Structure 1
């Protein structure tokens, strides 16, 4: 009778918080040993892990995720390794299936889909759109959507299988290079980090990843994927479409057949106001996609954006409709479609569509910006003013948001409310001369003393 394979859970942790016990507990029944490399926790992570039976040792943090993970792999002694992070969970189906999966002699590594829970359906991961959360895991029930990504997270332990790259580290390329046998796992790993982090924690982590991504691209100048990842970071985290475009162009020089590179180059060009060039890139992206595959919603939305900002509203409306049925459209795409309808003379339908989209995702500031603009275009200043005031309660409103909200109140001749909004704006931005100037004008025109 064949010996039962020994499976080890391998983790790197720093300040895992309450999530660490949740992660270990989710996998505990499926593994024989737990090996954790702690990279400098200042909370109770080390004690928590040891109390749950883990072998914990210190790994010096040198701004290199692969280096830390490989140190943990070297401490493993079993036949198979399962990779999990402190903000993740193995679902019950995974825990139940791992003994059968690791007993299969014809598979060396299992590709696992990771579900990244998010607070907003407008989010995406690369070209992967957000999906509605089916709530197969009770712990995920409060999050409306998720994105997903595949990675090799369960594999046979061997010395020539190790992690590569400083950030977005993976063993997948080593496994492919070695010609090892892979298959798709019948379970998912649930990732809560995006949803549970504060906005400040998220910004700090993204900046850390950006700096590591710069080093990764420098160390691997012929790796098109490294340049693509850096482009995504420049676009979505740094909000720098010009630099992001340069990164995507570098990726395309190395791999001209890479459809996501053309897609994101088009998005950068749209954000830079170069609409004909954007549409040309998006056409290339469409050429490079599988010929008989489904319509890609992000491609349609990107084409819609280029047409819309280029003044071709009917074409934009057509593309937004192609991005999905009403029930499938993200709230952001639905708002964009509604804005097209308003511009095409269907104001009642368009504004109703936008309002319904905002109701689905009331914490996304960009939706309110679209609603305000559409209501103004439709001549509904009262609605625009009401929505502009709501916008000020979402996230960190800009100076422009305060000035616009006050200006709309002024158009309704509600000077006291306009002054109040501007005073609130000055409280947020005390050194902004423009806000103080608008406040003085509102005080004078409203004949308000003080």
Structure 2
């Protein structure tokens, strides 16, 4: 049945009368027949058919559908849209079903669509072809099939050009029980073009790892094995097996068998050899096959002009050379980009009638740019490195792309005088405008790696290596908009007024590198800023970051000498002190006691302003948080030390340790320092007595009653701290 738009409306389940002044057009031969086979596709069939409506209303169309055995309601949906709908019993042969559809088509052109696909709303290019004179000159046209990796059909996808449009007068048919293709004669030139803006969105590969997807794979592999039994030496059958069997354990063995047939130049090797070799090289590179280099060389020798060699194989070869041979890597990348340019130039490529390229989507192109920029950087080819960075599509980058771009950009900026600002701007804009979970992960990659450029360790290394400028200055274009950009501007300034203004621009203190804040403080900035108070959590993050950089000890010691009077300044001093004592290396004596005194002084000044006097006593101190309890005990201990009450000093330190066990390194340090000081102050006769007692104890059984009596004697008590140490329980007389 052939339908005009008006008659088609009737065929789809309801007649819509013409508007006033509109006449019913006589039936005419359709320009386009759309062919679909389906079975149990209730999930996606209506989406597919609805998306075809604008095309069917724009030109005379015919929709022919074959149901191969649906039982889920798909047929009822098809009845509302199809011009011709018929049953076709499934015979384990996709070509047979598609050819049965073609037999019932009467259009000038034929478009093959699957129900897990839907036509993009932009059909201008397709209409231009079907309404113009070119449709009478071309044999076939390829369109873009966009294969998505996620069910929401967002994010990463693979675009492939597939011949889906055929002029019916060519007489071509489908062949192959699975992965069916139009049977254009080998070597025959095909007139046509690639429709680069005509897209079929496809999500049928999303569920391949699901139980249902595994069932389909098993079905497909069974069909292919049957075909191989009848034609075990046909490269075409082996290509189809490789396309379907990547997840199978035997895949490596299948690859080797397929390559052997191609290298033996079995019938069809020239047509099917290039895609087979591309699958083989991919597997060989991934698995480290010893044949890898030989296969690559053979493919380049036999199929030098094939897009499979120039794109897919060059892609795999570039990754094989990555980090090993930069010069060779650049050559492979250049071959890939030239092949990609030719592929996108338009026209129907005959070799793509038998298989689709697998390394042509934006993700792969981004991968190649990352690989090439790394290689150019290693070779010192700065301009080419910048060119590849500039060519990145920063709005469509994965986390791995962001990491590669960051590391390359940082190194290029440090070692060259090139203007990297446009790249930095594009990179930041590309990953900051979106606030999805994926975008935040990419922002985190930029932040974490950018932070390293500001670290003391990295900047010390820069002093010893030959660089033209500090790497952190790459962020200067983002000053005032991004904390790392503001941090770079801070490090480049020594003007207190400018530094105050820059700090006021900070919105997320947790993103500000510690080095920038330390630089501002050293330049005389009073912090926290009077008109920009900080929350305790923000102070905690900043103090912790400064502690990691080893920037706190001297600052805390100086702060304790002149404590601020305002609340913000006082709490900031305390946060710095807490971070300092928790991060300090107490195994070193240098400035350790000075830091302890500063901590005790700051705690002694802050806690009485935090808590009431009734709480700051041993009876009630346990209601305070652990670090606050420890701080109070240390402040009390240093007050008793000044009064020369060593036993009480020791008791308070031990009590502080009981209240906050995490501060054991500091408590042990204080006790060791006291013990060392007391040893140095002990008179010679007391040291001699201690040695005599130690020798006596060594000669006795520890459980001997005489030993117990000795330890209880006044003489032993005088030297116990010299024998057991303060931490062993002895107290000096």
TM over 0.5: yes
Measured against aligned partners, the alpha-carbon deviations of 1:38-86 in whole angstroms (never above 9, x if no partner) come to 0111222211111124322111111100111122222334444322111
- Tell me the TM-score normalised to structure 2 length: 0.38
Aligned residue in 2 for 1:50: 79
Match of 1:315 among 314, 325, 329: 325
- Tell me the TM-score normalised to structure 1 length: 0.58
Aligned residue in 2 for 1:246: 257
Measured against aligned partners, the alpha-carbon deviations of 1:81-133 in whole angstroms (never above 9, x if no partner) come to 322111223342255235425884334x322223232228xxxxxxxxxxxxx
- Tell me: CA distance 1:291–1:76, structure 2 relative to 1, closer, same or farther (3 Å): closer
Task: Supply the distance in 1 between the matched residues of 2:163 and 2:135 (Cα, whole angstroms).
Answer: 19
- Tell me: CA distance 1:44–1:104, structure 2 relative to 1, closer, same or farther (3 Å): same
Aligned residue in 2 for 1:356: 403
The answer as to 2:86 corresponding to 1:71 is: no
Greater share of strand residues, 1 or 2? 1
- Tell me: CA distance 1:331–1:212, structure 2 relative to 1, closer, same or farther (3 Å): farther
- Tell me: CA distance 1:147–1:226, structure 2 relative to 1, closer, same or farther (3 Å): farther
Q: Is the 8 A contact 2:304 2:310 kept in 1?
A: no
Higher RCO (C-alpha under 8 Å, 6+ residues apart): 1
Q: Is the 8 A contact 1:12 1:36 kept in 2?
A: yes
Q: Is the 8 A contact 1:167 1:212 kept in 2?
A: yes
The answer as to 2:169 corresponding to 1:154 is: no
Q: Is the 8 A contact 2:116 2:204 kept in 1?
A: no
Q: Is the 8 A contact 2:299 2:309 kept in 1?
A: no
Match of 1:166 among 177, 180, 183: 177
SS in 1 for 2:95: helix
SS in 2 for 1:113: strand
Task: Supply the distance in 1 between the matched residues of 2:162 and 2:125 (Cα, whole angstroms).
Answer: 15
Match of 1:303 among 304, 309, 317: 317
Task: Supply the distance in 2 between the matched residues of 1:147 and 1:218 (Cα, whole angstroms).
Answer: 33
- Tell me: CA distance 1:69–1:31, structure 2 relative to 1, closer, same or farther (3 Å): farther
Task: Supply the distance in 1 between the matched residues of 2:214 and 2:278 (Cα, whole angstroms).
Answer: 25
The answer as to 2:276 corresponding to 1:261 is: yes
SS in 2 for 1:213: helix
Task: Supply the distance in 2 between the matched residues of 1:256 and 1:212 (Cα, whole angstroms).
Answer: 22
Match of 2:128 among 67, 75, 97: 97
SS in 2 for 1:199: coil
The answer as to 2:66 corresponding to 1:37 is: yes
Aligned residue in 1 for 2:549: none
Q: Tell me by how many angstroms 1:193 deviates.
A: 2.8
Aligned residue in 2 for 1:182: 191
Q: Is the 8 A contact 1:297 1:323 kept in 2?
A: no
- Tell me: CA distance 1:94–1:170, structure 2 relative to 1, closer, same or farther (3 Å): farther
Match of 2:302 among 264, 273, 288: 288
Aligned residue in 2 for 1:15: 40
Structure 1 unmatched runs, 5+: 121-138, 341-351, 364-450
SS in 1 for 2:166: strand
Task: Supply the distance in 1 between the matched residues of 2:364 and 2:187 (Cα, whole angstroms).
Answer: 41
Q: How does 1:334-373 map to 2 (within 5 A)?
A: 356=403
Aligned residue in 1 for 2:217: 206
Task: Supply the distance in 2 between the matched residues of 1:163 and 1:290 (Cα, whole angstroms).
Answer: 29
Q: Tell me by how many angstroms 1:36 deviates.
A: 0.7
Task: Supply the distance in 2 between the matched residues of 1:8 and 1:33 (Cα, whole angstroms).
Answer: 5
- Tell me: CA distance 1:98–1:56, structure 2 relative to 1, closer, same or farther (3 Å): farther
- Tell me: CA distance 1:185–1:295, structure 2 relative to 1, closer, same or farther (3 Å): closer
SS in 1 for 2:44: helix
Measured against aligned partners, the alpha-carbon deviations of 1:284-304 in whole angstroms (never above 9, x if no partner) come to 222334469899454344335
Task: Supply the distance in 2 between the matched residues of 1:78 and 1:215 (Cα, whole angstroms).
Answer: 34
Match of 1:24 among 25, 43, 49: 49
Match of 2:140 among 110, 114, 121: 110
Task: Supply the distance in 1 between the matched residues of 2:225 and 2:367 (Cα, whole angstroms).
Answer: 30
- Tell me: CA distance 1:101–1:87, structure 2 relative to 1, closer, same or farther (3 Å): farther
Structure 2 unmatched runs, 5+: 1-26, 338-361, 376-398, 407-430, 432-436, 439-733
SS in 1 for 2:90: coil
- Tell me: CA distance 1:208–1:248, structure 2 relative to 1, closer, same or farther (3 Å): farther
CA-atom RMSD in angstroms: 4.6
Aligned length: 325
- Tell me: CA distance 1:145–1:235, structure 2 relative to 1, closer, same or farther (3 Å): closer
Q: Tell me by how many angstroms 1:323 deviates.
A: 3.7
Q: Is the 8 A contact 1:116 1:146 kept in 2?
A: yes
Match of 1:81 among 110, 132, 136: 110
Measured against aligned partners, the alpha-carbon deviations of 1:201-248 in whole angstroms (never above 9, x if no partner) come to 433333332222233344445542332232343445556212222123
